[in-house]
Chain A
């Protein structure tokens, strides 16, 4: 049941209606039933995997909570300090093993389903023949998203930040909540769960705002993303035949399409939640206005970044070996210099960033190109941190006013460039074709008439589509610019004006989506990009 299907809209209207007419105490059960129905409609087999994750999360969560309680009580009874310390270490180790078992099980399922064929394929390509046959594995819908969300919950319990939920059905709702299971946003338990279980009353203003956010999402998905995706696909299909200019065009199209598509899915999810009364975490903050690559990743897929930061970056950065590297640099002769002091300070953090980006890369898919994607972003961030003093000296020497609009524009363009090169790893078929594409982009540029005529000949979209897409992109840009400048949501800004403006904007959005969106059986509307992860 795709977000863009008529059946989904019917399902959604029914679910929201039932939610508000149900007795307050049981409203969360409507969300649970809707979520289970939504998932089962997509895949029954996949739901079995969800159940495994749910049951293990439930069981291990309670185990860890009880274990922590018993541990505290046991340690309370021990009066001797050294004996208490020893016992604590033993119990901590045991507790860690419980967590490890849980993580192994859940990330094991994720890794097995997503990466087995990748490794088998690598073995086969190394062997030069099919030494081991590939497995026919089903990747359950949204497996990364629900696994991350569930494991985050158990890690929080392990860290003593949460107590386990003892109602299996309630935990089930947290794991399977339908507006987010397909493509996120990934929520923390303490941020989302209580909102799911609390009853929310019908509120017209919220309904209106939620519907407006959904409309914005549908506009980006149906009018922009799905309109231009065809051009991207046809270039990628035979990229080897085209020059760097055409490949750069594909990259620019992908830059717009990916953002329009992914942020659209998130907006629709957040809009649904807003209607119900749930405040879901923001996932995008105008990423293409970022001035550094670090800034970009703080604005792009924010919830994944937050998850990575909390559960990988910090735990990794504070491990003894990583801390020791910093200490070693500090104690070396190099560490005594000004620059050495800086390196000693930022190296553990930069290394952690590299690790996080490697994980993010691998999370995106089982292919060496994603390793390249992680490396590209991780290394850029690492070196930008390590070489920061050098850049600062350079800007000072060149008398560049870093607060000027011109420099900010330069930074935005520079970041976009880095991001776009990173996207090559995303759209290429493999590592080899990614590197080939980068080579073409840099060394095979041609603005000849032949390039444009080739582009026009292969393009599955006509002039009208290009015009519509450009108008849509312009609207998206203006909305982002207003948000970036004012820091306010455009919906709120419109709300402050006379009601006719809000009426007119909603009217225009509905007409644009229905008349100019790409939907229905006449169109091969593509699935949301992040559904595949």
Chain B
């Protein structure tokens, strides 16, 4: 019995320490991880709209700006660079945790070349903070089936990040405190949003208003798209598909190929009876300033994001895609109202934010929150 207790206590102690290291210490911690963690901290069934996609949709939609104007809550369960194969598990997670009224899916994921889908270099960062459930397990098993050597890392992220400290060992105490604080608070202040006010002008911009060319999707992407549409059919989901706006310099650029593939994806989606908006073609109507509203060719900045959010919500309502009025508990409203105060301060501060690189987003950190409270919230 004593021997048994020794072994059990050893296993338990190892599991505890390894679990702690995996969750707080030997892990990356950036706005993508913060966003995913924040999604799972939101109270059950408190989000009206969940947005699935990559960085494009995250930089195009502001949950708090929309909440302020419409009262609807929304959250991007999205991550930079993830593949379309993540749509299905993300949608399942969104439905299990939030039962949202509407799912918005950015088709940008299916417009890349095959490599991305095969190698799935960024999916891990979304998986890291997913709960250990059947969805995560099937995601790992699916990755194993497709021959990914990283499949086990989906279940055991320490296998991906061990041996060093992704954020630097000096930052470990701060990182632990930050994650613990968010867990204790139970929500993130910016609802997964991280933005910049940097505007990067561009000389060559292709006028897409008359462009009607399409390009076939690569086979794995077409399959992923059809599988997802099958899932939507089977579960009678209320889904809006869209392609977020980009600044395409010329017909030779990758972004133009992506645009053509997105148009093709739109055709497939509409054939299956789902709404699709190619906002690449509607930049004028949205009111986007091609010189001021983008921080690079692929992403909107804060100014563009607000315009896009307003326009898209209006489009959603016009199309009658939201079936119920926002109806949230007082606690949920209080939480979002509280976050809105911080968001106002954040948008006030953002023009002064000087990133090291134009593509660095201003992330929610304890230091930032402290500074906002001190200097921008009075």
Contact = CB atoms under 8 A, between A and B. Distances in A.
B6 interface: yes
B6 A518 contact: no
Given A464-B165, A521-B150, A523-B163, A515 B10 contact: no
Contacts of B14: 507, 510-511, 514
A521 B153 contact: yes
B160 A520 contact: yes
B153 A507 contact: no
A503 B6 contact: yes
Interface string B129-158: 000000000000000000001101100001
Given A6-B152, A204-B3, A517 B17 contact: no
Interface in A480-529: 499, 503, 506-507, 510-511, 514-523
B140 to A, nearest CB: 12
8 contacts: A204-B3, A464-B164, A464-B169, A503-B10, A507-B10, A510-B10, A519-B162, A520-B153
Contacts of A520: 152-153, 159-160, 162
Contacts of B21: 511, 515
A521 B10 contact: no
Nearest to A223: B163
A523 B153 CA distance: 12
Contacts of A503: 6, 9-10
Interface residues on B, range: 20 to 34
Interface residues on A, range: 20 to 34
A464 B162 CA distance: 13
Nearest to B4: A204
Given A227-B163, A518-B163, 17 more contacts: A204-B3, A462-B164, A464-B164, A464-B169, A503-B6, A503-B10, A507-B10, A511-B18, A514-B14, A514-B162, A517-B162, A517-B163, A519-B159, A519-B162, A520-B153, A520-B159, A522-B161
A207 to B, nearest CB: 10
A385 interface: no
B13 interface: yes
A99 to B, nearest CB: 47
A279 interface: no
Task: Give the dominant DSSP class at B's interface.
Answer: helix
Nearest to A462: B164
Contact of B149 (A510, A515, A518, A521): A521
Interface string A429-468: 0000000000000000000000000000000001011000
Interface in B73-87: none
B162 A506 contact: no
B26 interface: yes
Nearest to A204: B3
Contacts of A518: 163
Interface of A: 6, 204, 227, 462, 464-465, 499, 503, 506-507, 510-511, 514-523
A503 to B, nearest CB: 6
Contacts of A515: 18, 21, 26, 158, 162-163
Interface in B22-37: 26
B8 to A, nearest CB: 11
Contacts of B9: 503
A227 B14 CA distance: 23
B16 to A, nearest CB: 10
A465 B159 CA distance: 17
A20 to B, nearest CB: 16
Contact of A507 (B13, B161, B163, B169): B13
A506 B6 CA distance: 11
A470 to B, nearest CB: 15
Contacts of A522: 153, 159-161
A516 B3 contact: no
A523 B160 CA distance: 9
Contacts of B162: 514-517, 519-520
A516 B13 CA distance: 17
Nearest to B161: A522
Nearest to B169: A464
Contacts of A465: 164
A514 B22 CA distance: 10
Ranked nearest first, the 3 interchain pairs of A and B with the lowest CB-CB distance are: A521-B149, A520-B159, A510-B14
B9 to A, nearest CB: 7
Nearest to A500: B6
Contacts of B158: 514-515
A372 B3 CA distance: 54
Contact of A506 (B10, B159, B169): B10
B10 A514 contact: no
Interface centre among A227, A510, A517 (most CB of B within 10 A): A510
Contacts of B152: 6, 520
Interface centre among A519, A520, A523 (most CB of B within 10 A): A520
A204 B150 CA distance: 34
A204 B3 CA distance: 9
A506 B11 CA distance: 10
A473 to B, nearest CB: 16
A514 B18 contact: yes
A520 B6 CA distance: 29
A465 to B, nearest CB: 7
Contacts of B160: 520, 522
A522 B163 CA distance: 10
Contacts of A507: 10, 13-14, 17
Contact of B6 (A499, A510, A511): A499
A406 to B, nearest CB: 40
Contacts of A511: 14, 17-18, 21
Interface string B101-142: 000000000000000000000000000000000000000000
Contacts of B6: 499, 503
Contacts of B165: 464
A522 B149 CA distance: 9
Nearest to B9: A503
A520 B155 CA distance: 13
Contacts of A506: 10
Contacts of B13: 507
Contacts of A464: 164-165, 169
A237 to B, nearest CB: 22
A464 B163 CA distance: 9
A380 to B, nearest CB: 39
A465 B162 CA distance: 12
B372 to A, nearest CB: 33
B192 to A, nearest CB: 26
B155 to A, nearest CB: 11
Contact of A516 (B17, B149, B163): B163
A293 B282 CA distance: 80
A518 to B, nearest CB: 6
A512 to B, nearest CB: 11
A510 B15 CA distance: 10
Contacts of B3: 204
A519 B162 CA distance: 8
Contacts of A227: 163
Interface centre among A503, A515, A516 (most CB of B within 10 A): A515
Nearest to B150: A521
B31 to A, nearest CB: 22
Nearest to B26: A515
Interface in B152-186: 152-153, 158-165, 169
Nearest to B165: A464
Interface string B346-362: 00000000000000000
B6 to A, nearest CB: 6
A516 B158 CA distance: 10
Contacts of B150: 521
A503 B161 CA distance: 26
A227 B163 CA distance: 9
A518 B162 CA distance: 8
